[in-house]
Structure 1
Amino acid sequence: MEQVNKLLNGVEIPDMAQVRQNFSAPVLDDPCGTLKQQLDRPEIRNLVKPGMKIAVTVGSRGIAEYIPLLRCILDSLKEMGAEPFLIPAMGSHGGASAEGQKKLLAGYGITEESVGVPIRATMEVVAVDQTDSGETVWVDRYAKEADGIVLFNRIKPHTGFRGDYESGLVKMAAIGLGKQKGAETVHDGGPAMMASRVREFGCRAIRAVNVLFGVGTVENAYEKVRMVHALTRDEIFTEEPEMLAVAKSGMPCIMFEHLDVLIVDQIGKNISGPGMDPNITHTYLPGAAISEELRAKRATRVVIFDLTEETHGAAMGIGMSDITTKRLFEKMNLDTTYPNCLTGGVTVSAKIPMMFDSQKLAIQAAIKTLNGADLEHLRIVRIKDTLHTEYIEISEALMQEARENPEVEIVSEPAPLVFDEDGNLF
């Protein structure tokens, strides 16, 4: 790319400063102790009978206190005389294969050895119900054959629609337990129909199989557990929307708007379904049921540097950026990226943007393509990923706003970015 690099030579990158965004963040002091109390409620304990073989769902997203909370659920079930086992409930993630889904869980440290119960992974599904329009509701075969099911998931705003049930227990029943076939069926209505279809398919699935109870968590802006509840099947329908409202009230954000460039160090399926959470980056998919006001908050140019190790080459979300690096492209695994696109009926999120040899060139390309921008006062923000937005970097042009915002603390004064001999920051 000799000629391309010549065109970018001399494009100035503004000095950047580190700041700390201070979010209101209530935290639960003892999540496992609180969950144990919840599981000891008679409404929960009376649902479990000795000898029951109970499937406990585990998803593809990282959850705060994932293994400790999971162990608490499993230990409580064992104390009640049940025989729990885990089932991956993650739709088409993990390359839409049973082994891929087990490998994804292992990336979080969830193995048969670490949690002390079997993991039964399959992509086989069983029809359990039909919608009013005659569409089939599918559920994981092991889940259907179990004496009972426990849904375990984090409850948070979805990245592409708004509704009573977004990311949480009902969606896990609709899409996670439905595996690839069920996920494809739910997504078949397109982005505009996702809220209603998640509700219909999820509620029908929960009622059609023996879901005993669910465990939902809510996290604060710093990925700490803010709330955990064990909910009976009926309580899931009434309490999940209230927990979702709490989750929405505590979402992190980027406290600077009208950006020329947003730099994201890494994306991955372990961070968000679309690689980076559009609730933070405003990189929403076309057709997503999101207001134009939110869409308008997207930076003019979005740059992505890299993939997380935990995503195993799944690069969903790369297509929502404008510019990336060859490093990311070379890590991209089409066999783990494309199944999600084929299942969801979405192509844009896996499209390849312009790519450059180094992170420095990627930033320079973003700046060079800012037609009409004030190059002397560029508004640039850099974040590690959308799970970590406490400490971010801002360009010199944003410093006055930072000083005037009581929720922003200036950690360092503006200074040039330090690139290595290959033009990379890391």
Structure 2
Amino acid sequence: MSTFYDLLRDVPIPKMVKVRQKFPRVSIDVDDIPKKINEILENEDILKTIVPGMSIAITVGSRGINNIALITRELVRLLKEKGANPFIIPAMGSHGGGIAENQRKIIEEFGVSEEYCGCPIKSTMDTVQIGKSPEGHPIVIDKYAAAADGIVVVGRVKPHTAFRGEYESGIMKMMAIGLGKREGANACHAAGWKHMHHLIPLFGKSILQHANILFGVAIVENAFDETCILEAIPRNKIAEREPELLIKAKELMPRIWIDETDVLIVDKIGKNISGDGMDPNITGTFATPYASGGLKSQKVAVLDITNESHGVIIGAGMADATTQRLFDKADLEASYINALTSTVFDVVRIPMILKSDRDAIAACIRASNEIDINCPRVIRISDSLHIEYIYISEALLDEVAKNSNMEIVGELREMQFDLNGDLW
């Protein structure tokens, strides 16, 4: 009798070719970021909020925002030059297992350290209630932020992975869920993702009303994960300006320029890649029915997680097959804390676990319906954050040839596996 792996051994793995995807590439040069921070803080509406001697909390979240350490350091420098006493707080809801020290470690891994930024980091899970929303929800924020004379909210504005609304990921969400720590995250998620488009601005505007928010610093990135827009937004204009930046962020967001495939291979997922491990705006692997888009594929193989994830396997549950390697790295308890807070369990379900990369890929090909198994449509990406270069199988060559946003930059080659069956 054939074993399970005998069923996979003869599945043909298609040849793949490297393809470059084209996107607009307007960005702020890294060397120009200090100058840009100087410029955006010279706005009179911003300057008048900074009083010599005041203590100011600066938020840093858990996402892998490009240049976040440099941006934070320059904000600290400017605030110090204006006579203020800035400090940094991790603002990331329940991430890091809901443990203050872990949240500090997360931002330090991004380079946001006391030594580099030149100011203290104060990390706690304790919160203070500062008021109530118009609908009666208790509004809580980080206790260190609440005790400060002012708060600067730093956040990247981009489409969310689980809902659509006027405000998605950005300054409002950073206030409602980031500053709110575990309690704020729980309160927003408890009603379900169906209501998130309403609760994020409800909580965010309540924090603007009850907390001493000085201004926001909005970051928008281009399709290459580069800083494209840096903007300081006065407190009274955050609610008006953020939706405009979200529209711009959606225009700049990358995508896979092919609409459908049989199998998608994702080399790595991770919390530093996306809040969902892999951004469903790219991969189409949405965990809720309140957002849609991205690539359509019959099966998804996820092969590994990033070291920066520390075993949090958020996103693995949206795959159909994975590897023993990924499962061995899993910290299920830390993963479950995040899933429990978000109320979405699908993202941490365990997909089919296979011995090797080849087995995971072969299983997805074999189980896809109504395809040419000898010439399947397969796309491979390193992760959902870096998709300028992707790999496509021979069956997709004609689509690439017709698309001016794609160009072939390599030759068709067999996928290279080591003796264990893992890609190298």
| Counterpart residue number, 1:335 | 333
Q: Answer whether contact 2:301 2:319 (CA < 8 A) is retained.
A: yes
> Is the partner of 1:245 in helix, strand or coil?
helix
1:257 is displaced (CA, Å) by 1.9
| Counterpart residue number, 2:169 | 167
| Counterpart residue number, 2:198 | 196
Cα distance between partner residues in 1 of 2:260 and 2:374:
15
Cα distance between partner residues in 1 of 2:147 and 2:88:
13
Q: 1:302 aligns with which of 300, 303, 306?
A: 300
Greater Cα offset, 62-71 or 394-403: 62-71
Matches for 1:173-322 after TM superposition, within 5 Å? 173-287=175-289, 289-291=290-292, 294=293, 297-322=295-320
Cα distance between partner residues in 2 of 1:339 and 1:36:
39
| Counterpart residue number, 1:28 | 28
> Is the partner of 1:228 in helix, strand or coil?
strand
Q: Answer whether contact 2:72 2:112 (CA < 8 A) is retained.
A: no
In the alignment, structure 1 residue 38 sits paired with structure 2 residue 40: yes
Residue by residue, what CA displacement relative to the aligned partner does 1:42-95 show, whole Å, maximum 9, x if unpaired?
A: 211111111101000000011121111111100010001000000000001111
Cα distance between partner residues in 1 of 2:134 and 2:112:
38
Which runs of 5 or more structure 2 residues have no equivalent in the other structure?
Answer: none
In the alignment, structure 1 residue 369 sits paired with structure 2 residue 367: yes
1:110 is displaced (CA, Å) by 1.5
Q: Answer whether contact 2:176 2:184 (CA < 8 A) is retained.
A: yes
Cα distance between partner residues in 1 of 2:334 and 2:118:
28
Number of aligned positions between the proteins = 421
Residue by residue, what CA displacement relative to the aligned partner does 1:202-244 show, whole Å, maximum 9, x if unpaired?
A: 1111221000011111110001111110111012111111111
AA matched with 1:380: V
Residue by residue, what CA displacement relative to the aligned partner does 1:301-346 show, whole Å, maximum 9, x if unpaired?
A: 0110000011111111110111100000010112321111111111
AA matched with 1:299: S
In the alignment, structure 1 residue 323 sits paired with structure 2 residue 324: no
Q: Answer whether contact 2:161 2:291 (CA < 8 A) is retained.
A: no
| Counterpart residue number, 1:347 | 345
Matches for 1:378-397 after TM superposition, within 5 Å? 378-397=376-395
Relative to the length of structure 2, the TM-score reads 0.97
Q: Percent identity?
A: 45
Residue by residue, what CA displacement relative to the aligned partner does 1:21-40 show, whole Å, maximum 9, x if unpaired?
A: 01122212423312211112
Residue by residue, what CA displacement relative to the aligned partner does 1:79-135 show, whole Å, maximum 9, x if unpaired?
A: 010000000000011111101101111211222122111111010111122223322
Greater Cα offset, 412-421 or 26-35: 26-35
AA matched with 1:351: R
AA matched with 1:267: I
In the alignment, structure 1 residue 415 sits paired with structure 2 residue 413: yes
Cα distance between partner residues in 2 of 1:5 and 1:336:
31
AA matched with 1:28: I
| Counterpart residue number, 1:108 | 110
Cα distance between partner residues in 2 of 1:111 and 1:290:
35
> Is the partner of 1:127 in helix, strand or coil?
strand
Cα distance between partner residues in 2 of 1:371 and 1:249:
34
1:181 is displaced (CA, Å) by 1.0
Matches for 1:108-187 after TM superposition, within 5 Å? 108-187=110-189
Cα distance between partner residues in 2 of 1:100 and 1:241:
32
Cα distance between partner residues in 1 of 2:190 and 2:371:
40
- Taking a change above 3 Å as real, the CA distance of residues 129 and 298 of structure 1, as seen in their structure-2 partners, is farther
AA matched with 2:7: L
Cα distance between partner residues in 2 of 1:103 and 1:26:
32
AA matched with 2:74: C
Cα distance between partner residues in 1 of 2:18 and 2:350:
30
Which runs of 5 or more structure 1 residues have no equivalent in the other structure?
Answer: none
Q: 2:65 aligns with which of 43, 63, 86?
A: 63
Q: Answer whether contact 2:223 2:252 (CA < 8 A) is retained.
A: yes
* Structure 1 segments (4+ residues) deviating >3 Å: none
Q: Answer whether contact 2:100 2:125 (CA < 8 A) is retained.
A: yes
Q: Answer whether contact 2:73 2:116 (CA < 8 A) is retained.
A: no
| Counterpart residue number, 2:53 | 51
Cα distance between partner residues in 2 of 1:368 and 1:217:
43
AA matched with 1:44: I
Cα distance between partner residues in 2 of 1:206 and 1:306:
40
AA matched with 2:188: V
AA matched with 2:418: D
